[in-house]
Each structure stands twice: as structure tokens, then as C-alpha cells.
Amino acid sequence: MSETSLTGSHTRTPLALRFPSVLIFLAVLGLFTLGVTILSEGFGIGVISTSFVKTLGKTLCLCLVALAMDLVWGYCGILSLGHMAFFGLGGYAIGMWLMYERTRLIVVDSLVASELPPTAQEISDGIATQIFGVVGASEFPPVWAFAHSLPIQLAFVVLIPGLFALIFGWLAFRSRVTGVYLSILTQAMTLALSLYLFQNDSGLRGNNGLSGLQNLPSLDAVPQATVSLWFFWGSAFALGAGYLLCAWIVSGKFGSVIRAIRDDEARVRFLGYPVDAFKLFIFTLTAVIAGIAGALYYPQAGIINPTEIAPIASIYLAVWVAIGGRGRLYGAVIGAAFVSLLSTWFTGGQAPDINLGFYTIQWVNWWTVLLGLSFVAVTLFAPKGLGGLVDLIVDRTSPNRHGADLGPDPGALREKEAEK
Amino acid sequence: MSTLLEVSGVSVSFDGFKAINNLSFQIGTQELRAVIGPNGAGKTTFMDIITGKTRPDEGRISYGEKGLSLLSMSESRIAQAGIGRKFQRPTVFEDQSVADNLMMALRKARGPLSVLMFRPTAADHGRIAELAGEIGLSRKLHSKSGELSHGQKQWLEIGMLLAQEPRLLLVDEPAAGMTPAEREHTTDILREAARTRAVVVVEHDMEFVRRLGCKVTVLHEGSVLAEGSIDHVTQNERVIDVYLGR
């Protein structure tokens, strides 16, 4: 920190200038979106296949949920192992409408040939049989009460994860559950939710999940090449907006307080801050962000089933953020993008198998092992993650004090400096 | 001088061990008070009870003109009501700058939404610069507080307490690990603070307590053994027996 800034003015500078990483991030995201659009089949020269556009769009959604994870874990210190459940809930909320509306159109089409115009009841029964035949039911479960309404289901994308997180967080934070106990609790919540959804009578088609979500109702004429770009743009916009929101939240005094909660919760209480309320706010907000990310992800994936909510998904999320570098927003994005794309490459069978003579390493199976090892390696040797590489460039780790002494008694940082 | 805090008949035990035993204590609105006592006398537990960290088994604590009972309030509400606490080890947020630390402590609305919408005014920046001057950290305002020396961290924490504008300041061993010059500065800060508020200093160092020049309360086995001027208590037979004589 330079001496001149000590006496510097206190005028407000725009967020983007105080945090150049925000500006750089948005610029990169914009260029990336433009580049993909130009190279796509839908609007450009067709170098990138539609399925890869979908993969990229999904990756942007994963980056968004990683941002949420970074906010709750990297900044506020709550290691939630349940945020992919909120992501899944968002996906289910939008998936219900997509599936209902599309099935309704098919049923209405098939009934149009009958002699008498179909009654509302007939249509409803037709849809229910179509959707729930697979789990041996032919009636709408209560949770589908609003599936016909896009606005209500869109509201649910935000409300269901939000309310769920609010209630869960209120119970947990009020009882001062912290650290590893909270992680276990969130993991249990996730497991319970996925087990519940696996049941056929949960009303969400059990292990079949919701499918055909890539087909937008009444837009059959629009090719997937175009639809995929719509969702890609939507995901890019959501990620950009989410990044700005998170950057705004962590930049001011609120950011100070949540980082302080992460570092010493009790001390923050004695400063007079209601720590539980802050945690609840962050937990709920990030659940909402996760829900929105999920609602954008699953129409691109085409299918959602309870496996997506299983605890392992949330653990992966934590791994992405750890590898990317927690406590910095771009770290989370880099981690999610890097690891999930790499994972697609390895598990998609594109990575060449390694023949050791006595054993062939097939990456489809061995990728998880590699991921696990790299997680351990990052935790041990590079706790700052991939984002830490940026520090090497910016060199923010050693503040230049222009040779000024630290004082009569060596501070903690000086001891660290001496170790180098 | 009116009473700011009145602790009466408070007891607390941990697994059968009575850490505080029928303790009563009073302090006025503008008073400096030193609390001394041997290890295990219950000094830290006493502070824990006032700040809401530990709930007493019995007794009453009334605070302020309206006689608020602190027993039903959370730590954060007690802090908001105007009770600030400084811990034995300096606990500042090392990852954040001195200015950020002070900004967090400034007396402002503490709810999540008001904090989210909070933008510091020029007056707030001015106040922080002023505080930094008082604690001798003007030149370090934008340094990470982890870079400060031990003594400077102690001051920063005192500065944060002053920023909270508490009516009652509880200070646990402020002079620990300080150089003689730093101790003198700390004495000045505490005496100055006590002109406008109540300050309770828990301290081991008799020399430091003597320099504070205030009324002293001696704790022993969880209750008050003696109270009065430093000369008065150091001549007290029982005090000599349990504490000074060792």
C-alpha cells in the first residue's frame, strides 16, 4: 500500500475501478459469450456444435453456483455441503412447468381429433397419465398444483430454495451449530432430500426425474441450435449479474463483517453484530442464487433426477471452489469452469487411455481418483488454489512498506515473511 | 454519581466448581475500576457473565438508568446496549485493514440489511482518522492489521472499543506483552476513556494498576475479597495472604 493513499481522498470511486477484477471478469465473460455466439451453429459459422454450446452454457451455470458457494464458504466460512440441493430444487421448479406445459400441448393435440371437444378434466387426466404413468400413478400430486403457471413456477425457483434455506439455516444458526457439525448437518439434509425424491410417491417421478426439459413448449419450430444459444446467453447474463451482486456484497462493510465472522465469530458478536442473522442472510441468498443457476442448468441438460441432488454433487461443488481458490470470486468461477470442463473431457471418453502394459488407465473410471488427488494436493500445497496464480502476477502477498519497520515487536506477517 | 452496572448475588458453577460465588459489584457511569485477583479468581468468568457469553446460575445484573436485565439478552444485544469488551489476547481481524477494523466497530446500525446498505460518509472517515490518531496508528490505517506489532494490535483493539462508543468498557489485561512506553500510552488512553464512561480493567500487573490510580476490587475464589484504593487493598491482611503474599 503506497504512502500517498494514506492521505488520499474519500470520494466514491465506482465499484469496477476499486475492484478491477470485476471489470476484467465482465469483459472476459462478454468476449467469451460473443466468441461462442460467432462460432456457434445457431447464429455463427458453426465451428462449435450445439451440444458443446450446451456444455458451455451448463458450465456457466455451474460457475454461478460456485460463486454462491464461495460467498457462503470462502467469505462467510460456512462450509455448506448442501448447496447443490438448492440448485436441484431450482431445476425441479422450472422442470415441472416445462414438462407439464409440453405434455399438455401433446395431449391437446391428440384429443383435437376426437368428436367432442375435450373437457378440462379429460385434458388434465391425459397429462397426468402421460407424466405419472411411469411411476404407476395417474393423478396430479399436490406439489404439481401450480405447474400450469410459468410465473408461479418461476417464483418457486427463488422461493423454494430460499424458504428451505431460511428454515434450515434458522434452526442451525440459532443453535450455534458451526464448523464440521454444520457441514454434516447440511450433508444430511441433502441426503434426506434426495432419498425422498427417489421415492415414487414423492410426486416428482422418483428416480426417473423430469425429462425432455430441453424442449421448450410451443417452440418446437425453433431449432435446438438456437434454443441452446438463448440459454447460453441467459446463463452468461445470470453469471455476470451474479458476479456483480456478489462483488457488491463483499466489497463494503457487509463483506468486512462476513469475513470477520469467518475468522472470529465470537469477536464479531461482542462488536454487537447479530452473527446468526448475517449467516442466515448469506445462506439464504446463496441458496436463491443456486436455485436460479439450477433453473438455467437443467433445461440445457434436458433431464433432472434425484441423483443430481445426492450429497456427492455438493461435495464436488466444494472441491471446485477449493481448487479455484476460495475467498475470491474469480477463483470460484475459474475452479468450476476448469474442473467441470476437464471432467466432461475425461468422462466423455475423449481423454486418451494410458496403457501401462500391465494395466490400462481408463479415465472414465480414474478421473475421480485424479480429482481426489488434486483436491488433496491443492489443500496441502496451494491453499489459495488456482486463483493464487493471479497473486503471483499481481504480487499482492507482500505489501511494499518501502522498508518501513513493523514496530518494536515483530508482527505475525513479518514472521511469515521471514519464513520465506 | 449514578450507578451504571449493578451485579448482585451472581453465582455460576462449571461441573460443580463454583467459578463465581455470590458476587456483587457496582460501577458508576464515569468510573475507572481495576479488578485484580490470583489465577482462577473468576476475573474472566466475571466478564463473560456481563457480556452474555456465560449465563449465571443465579443472581441479577441490572444495567443503565432503566435497570435493563442483561441476563435475557444475547451477546450482540448486550454489545449494542453499550458494553464493549477487550480480550486478553488481541483479537483484531488480521486479514483486514486497520481502517476496515475500525469501520466495523463504529457505532452504527448492526442489522444485516442496514450494514449491506451502509456507505461511509466523510464524517465516518474523519472519525476513523481521529481514532487512528488517538491510538497512534494513523500511518498504518491502510495496512492489514496482521502486519501490526503485538502492542499495536492491542491499541487497535482499544481503538475499536472506543469506536463502539460503549458506556461500559471491559478490558482484560491491556498491558500484557507491551513495552514500557506502550504501557504508559495505554494508561493514558484508559484514563481518558474513563472521563466519559465506565471502564473496568482486569490486570495482573500491580505496577500498572497503581499507575491507573483508581479504585480496586480484589477477587478471590469467585467473590469480592476487598475493595478500595490500591494502598487500602494492598494493606488488607486477607489480600496479602491470598494474593500478594505469594
The Cα A153–Cα A93 span in angstroms is 6
Note the pLDDT tens digit of each residue in B144-193: 998 888 888 888 988 998 899 999 999 988 887 778 888 888 888 888 88
CB contacts < 8 A (A, B): 122
A259 touching B (Cβ < 8 Å): yes
Cα distance from A5 to chain B (closest Cα, Å)?
8
* Paired strand residues for B5: B27, B63
B186 shares contact with chain A (CB less than 8 Å): no
Test B119 with A12 for CB contact under 8 angstroms. yes
Average pLDDT, chain B: 88
B105 at the A interface (CB within 8 A)? yes
Q: How many Å separate Cα A324 from the centre of its chain?
A: 14
**Yes or no, beta carbons of A271 and B160 under 8 Å apart:** yes
pLDDT of B230 reads 87
Residue B146 to residue A413, Cβ atoms within 8 A: yes
- In chain B, the residue whose alpha carbon lies closest to the alpha carbon of A277 is B112
Which ranges of A199-252 would DSSP assign to H, the alpha helix?
224-251
A65 phi and psi angles, rounded to 5 deg: -70, -30
Q: How many CB atoms lie within 10 A of CB B41?
A: 23
Classify residue A163 by burial, with Cβ atoms within 10 Å: 0-12, 13-18, 19+.
Answer: middle
CB A99 within 8 A of CB A213: yes
Among candidates A12, A253, A414 on the partner chain, residue whose Cβ is nearest the Cβ of B118: A253
pTM (two decimals): 0.88
Q: Determine how β-strand B3-14 pairs with β-strand B168-172.
A: unpaired
Kindly state whether A418 is in contact with chain B, defined as any CB-CB distance less than 8 angstroms: no
Give the count of domains, chain A: 1
Number of domains in chain B: 1
CB contact (8 A) between residue A271 and residue B93: no
CB burial of residue A69 (10 Å; 0-12, 13-18, 19+)? buried
Q: What percent of chain B has pLDDT over 90?
A: 32
Residue A3: per-residue pLDDT: 36
Whether A305 is in a domain gets the answer yes
Residues 38-67 of A with CB under 8 A from B: none
Q: What is the pLDDT of residue A280?
A: 96
Q: Is B54 a domain residue?
A: yes
Residue B184 belongs to domain spanning: 3-92+165-244
B80–A264: do the CB atoms touch at under 8 Å?
Answer: no
Q: Report if residue B31 sits inside a domain.
A: yes
Q: What is the DSSP letter of B165?
A: -
Which CATH number is B212's domain given?
Answer: 3.40.50.300
Residue A368 lies in a domain: no
Please report whether residue B114 resides in a domain.
no
* Residues of chain B neighbouring A6 (CB-CB closer than 8 A): 138-139, 141-142
Domain range enclosing A300: 13-314
Give the pLDDT of residue A318: 93
Residues of chain B found within 8 Å of residue A249, distances taken between Cβ atoms: 116
Distance from CA of B76 to the nearest CA of A (A): 4
Give the mutation candidate from A271, A279, A281 for the B interface (greatest B CB count, under 10 A): A271
Whether A411 sits inside 8 A of B122 (CB atoms) is no
Low-confidence ranges of chain A (pLDDT < 70): 1-17, 395-420
Q: What pLDDT digit, counting tens, does each position of A45-62 carry? A: 888 899 999 999 999 999
Q: List Cβ neighbours of B85 (8 Å cut-off, separation of 6 or more).
A: A270, B47, B51, B79, B161, B169, B170, B171, B172
Pairing between β-strand A354-355 and β-strand A303-304 as defined by DSSP bridges: unpaired
Q: Which of residues 381-410 of A touch B (CB under 8 A)?
A: 399, 401, 406-410
The residue whose grid cell reads 446496549 is: B81
The minimal CB distance from A256 to the residues B104, B139, B149 is found for: B104
User: Are β-strands A303-304 and B32-36 bridged in parallel, bridged antiparallel, or unpaired?
Assistant: unpaired
Lowest-pLDDT range, A235-239, B7-11, B96-100, B147-151? B147-151
> Which residues in chain A (261-300) have CB-CB distances under 8 A to chain B?
263-264, 266-267, 269-275, 277-278, 281
Question: Who among A259, A277, A409 is closest to B96 (CB)?
Answer: A259
Which residues are registered as beta bridge partners of B25?
B7
CA distance A269 to A278: 11
Helix (H, G, I), strand (E, B) or coil at B9: strand
Displacement of CA A211 from its chain's centroid (Å): 21
Whole-angstrom distance, CA of residue B6 vs CA of residue B85? 17
Q: How far apart are the first and last CA of chain A?
A: 20
> What whole-number distance in Å separates Cα of residue A258 and Cα of residue A280?
11
What does the pLDDT read at residue A13?
A: 63
Distance CA A82, CA A72 (A): 11
Contact residues, chain A, for B96 at CB < 8 Å: 256, 259-260
The answer to whether residue B180 is domain-embedded is yes
B49-77 tens-digit pLDDT: 999 988 999 999 999 888 888 888 999 99
ipTM of this complex:
0.87
> B23 by DSSP, 3-state: which?
strand
- Give the gap in angstroms from C-alpha B86 to the nearest C-alpha of chain A: 9
